[in-house]
Structure 1
Amino acid sequence: MSDALVSLRGVTKSYTRGKETVQVLEALDLDIAQGDFLALMGPSGSGKTTLLNIIGGLDKPSGGEIKVNGERIDTLSSGKLAKWRADHVGFVFQFYNLLPVLSAQRNVELPLLLTKLSASKRKEHAQVALDIVGLKDRAKHKPNELSGGQAQRVAIARALVGDPTLLVCDEPTGDLDRATADEILTLLQELNRTHGKTIIMVTHDPKAAEYATHTLHLDKGRLVESAEAAG
């Protein structure tokens, strides 16, 4: 589709291990619309995280073309790609990656240190992001004073604080119990539906995928099936 926010054409990814070439993604075509909430599923080693990292600009394809919002990102230099990532992508990982010595608010502010915003504006933006994820009252708490679910909410606030084009989530509930995972997934669903965030989520959990708009399955580097999610 020509109006896709994310468009991949013929994307391949391979690694060389000694004399062996390992093909991770094979001639992959994919369109993701603005405002979509896509769950990527597949067995271990299917290429899910590799695909997520390529879309998020953390990795480059071996071949093919990637456009995000009309811009080719596969041809950007490492420096320009890093700036593009900072401007356009919010990352949420399984293990939160919060700095233990900083408060929740300071953790959320971290991506804004790369911008020209003043300290007061950074604080203001961080407070808004924490309010969105329901943690305004935990702004001064450090990670060890938060539950796992609260820590992941802080991580989501940090991903949101720069108002990214894409929210990229790699197993965001993989370290959480079912009830807490459902709270985080409901939050992601709300960010998609209410705030219009385009979300791409890798998950191994079928229940997590139900919160997405739809699901795509990868197997051995190829898209093998798509199914509409009930949620």
Structure 2
Amino acid sequence: MSALVEIRNLSKVYTRGKQKIEVLHHIDLDIAKGDFLALMGPSGSGKTTLLNLIGGLDTPSQGSLSVGGQRIDSLGEGALAKWRSEHVGFVFQFYNLLPMLTAQKNVELPLLLTKLSAAQRKQNAAIALKLVDLADRATHKPTELSGGQQQRVAIARAIVSDPDLLVCDEPTGDLDRQSAQQVLELLQMLNRDHGKTIIMVTHDPKAAEFARHTLHLDKGTLVEQAAQA
């Protein structure tokens, strides 16, 4: 299976005052198209930084990063924003839904950047909500939904533009075990039945079991899984 994500000699350095903090050190990584990868490691290990780089939310200090054959490390801010909107769906720990909008309208948000008609946007959002088993909650606002339902709306929003890649940062971190199970089963279904490539940061070993592969980061470096035993 061909690599969707190709990372070579990737480093990320943040500057705080006169201090330079290297968060990621010379990462080499290929992620196959259709993979479901869990990224694990202690707090401060660089997991979210790596996820943000792959999703085009940040840019590396050194190295190359290609997604779907596109070198995204060299794109300017405007081109990177356009690339993100077309190729990546984001799922965050705290849902990031707009409280004044219905589930339907929240899911439609990424489509406002496209040339689709209002009717087509509504239809695509309805399909996405049906896929996450929330068609009957389309007119509900976030405050009328449980945490698990809100996260499923957020996943519908992430997939509504049919992205190549889903990046999920602690998607079950704010959920009870039953709701977390439902969200993880949904991600697994999107990977298995719809071919979505998923990269998920998690602290939870039980969540990582839903992925096809697990990688561990420690102090900005990829380490062998056995070293974490």
What TM-score, normalized by structure 1, do the two folds share?
0.97
Give matches, 1:187-198, under 5 Å. 187-198=186-197
The answer for the alignment partner of 1:93 in structure 2 is 92
| AA at the equivalent of 2:84 | R
Using the alignment, how far apart are the partners of 1:125 and 1:66 within structure 2? Answer: 31
Q: Deviations over 1:127-156 (max 9, x none)?
A: 000000000010000000000000000000
Q: Give the whole-Å Cα distance in 1 for the aligned partners of 2:17 and 2:153.
A: 41
2:21 is matched with 22
Q: CA deviation at 1:226?
A: 3.8
* Other-structure match for 1:44: 43
Once residues 191 and 17 of structure 1 are traced to their aligned partners in structure 2, the CA distance between those partners, rounded to angstroms, is 40
Counterpart in 1 of 2:54? 55
> 1 CA distance for matches of 2:155 and 2:37?
17
Unaligned runs of 5+ in 2: none
Are 1:110 and 2:106 an aligned pair?
Answer: no
Q: For residue 158 of structure 1, what is the aligned residue in structure 2?
A: 157
Preserved CA contact (<8 Å) 1:73 1:81: yes
The percentage of counterpart residues that share the same residue type is: 73
Equivalent residue number for residue 68 of structure 1: 67
C-alpha distance in 1, partners of 2:157/2:49?
22
Task: Name the count of aligned residue pairs.
Answer: 226
Query: 2:175, 2:18 → 1: CA distance?
Result: 40
> Which residue of structure 2 lines up, in the alignment, with residue 176 of structure 1?
175
Q: Give the Å deviation of 1:19.
A: 1.5
Q: Which residue identity is paired with 1:86?
A: S
How far apart, in 2, do the equivalents of 1:67 and 1:153 lie? 29
Q: Which runs of 5+ in 1 are unaligned?
A: none
SS of residue matched to 2:3 = coil
Instruction: Tell me, in whole angstroms, the C-alpha distance in 2 between the residues paired with 1:16 and 1:120.
Output: 47
Following TM superposition, by how much is the alpha carbon of 1:103 offset from its aligned partner in structure 2, in angstroms? 0.4
Cα pair 1:214 1:226 within 8 Å, conserved: no
> 1:176 aligns to what SS in structure 2?
coil
Residue matched to 2:198: 199
2:14 paired with 1:10 = no
Write the letter of the residue equivalent to 2:165: L
Equivalent-residue separation in structure 2 for 1:100 and 1:122 (angstroms): 20
RMSD of aligned alpha carbons = 0.9
Displacement of 1:161 after TM fit?
Answer: 0.1
Partner Cα distance (2:65, 2:153) in 1: 30
Spell out structure 1 runs of 4+ moving beyond 3 A. none
In 2, Cα distance between equivalents of 1:154 and 1:225:
35
1:113-152 pair list within 5 angstroms:
113-152=112-151
- How far apart are the structure 2 equivalents of 1:153 and 1:117? 23
Instruction: Verify the 8 A CA contact 1:130 1:157 in the aligned structure 2.
Output: yes
How big is each residue's C-alpha offset from its partner over 1:33-87, in whole Å with a ceiling of 9 and x where there is no partner? 0000000000000000000000000000000000101110000000000000000
